[in-house]
Amino acid sequence: MNRANSSYVKNPLYMIEAPPLVLVEPSENEIKLHSQKLSSWYSGPENMHLTGSTTPVSAEETRMLLLENRAHGDRLFFIFNEGRLIGDADLRNINIDEKFAEFAILLGDGNCRGLGLGTIAAIAVHRFGFDILNLLTARLSVAGKNVQAIKSYMKIGYVEDLENKVENIESSPGDIVMELTAPDFFRRETNMRPVRISIRK
């Protein structure tokens, strides 16, 4: 597998404007600044229950994990609503040759869930993946009990991998594996909402 490598850190960082949200690829300083809040979300009881995680992570562990993932080519976005960080999303395990990546998202601020903001953020990141990175397929693994997330993914075009065609994806027992192709994504009119992608200055 030709996975994106550490040369990623030399690439420009992007910003996606998807009203009312702004998603940014964070600098190293921004990752450090928000690592405490992110670690509290990653280690929160509700998120650990939904993701099947069993080990809390500290702010420093979170910072190091995000920097390590980015060095391996993951495209991490912080999600802001009216200037306030509400979550993060990323394209990980990017395969340049086969043009696919895994997608993950977390709305850590519980007050922002159920408002459609997760769907808007997901659309924005997939537009980046399909338009800027020229990916053809996105895949994800989600806990079967996370019904709200599954509905959100289906809304933008994801379908469950009932035939177990998807291989080499991080998953846990009880997870559902889903897949989305670029053509299926762009067929949905709701995915064509206004999105502006630019290089951060």
Q: Among all chains, which residue has been given the structure tokens 């509290």?
A: 40
pLDDT tens column, 24-72:
999 999 999 999 999 999 887 776 666 666 677 899 999 999 999 999 9
pLDDT interval class at 1 (50, 70, 90) = very low
Closest CA to 29 of 73, 67, 55: 67
Give me the residues paired with residue 184 across strands. none
Assigned CATH topology for domain 12-199: Aminopeptidase (3.40.630)
Q: Where are the domains of the chain?
A: 12-199
Cα–Cα separations (whole angstroms), residue 21 to 58, 103, 170, 179, 182? 27, 18, 28, 24, 22
The answer to whether residue 183 scores a pLDDT higher than 50 is yes
Between 149 and 54, residue with greater pLDDT: 149
pLDDT at residue number 111: 78
Between 3 and 130, residue with greater pLDDT: 130
Alpha carbon distance 167, 76 (integer Å):
22
Question: 192 φ, ψ to 5°?
Answer: -100, 20
- DSSP three-state, residue 66: helix
pLDDT at residue number 201: 83
pLDDT tens column, 93-114:
999 899 999 999 998 877 777 7
- Provide the 8-state DSSP code for 33: H
The answer to whether residue 190 scores a pLDDT higher than 50 is yes
pLDDT at residue number 9: 45
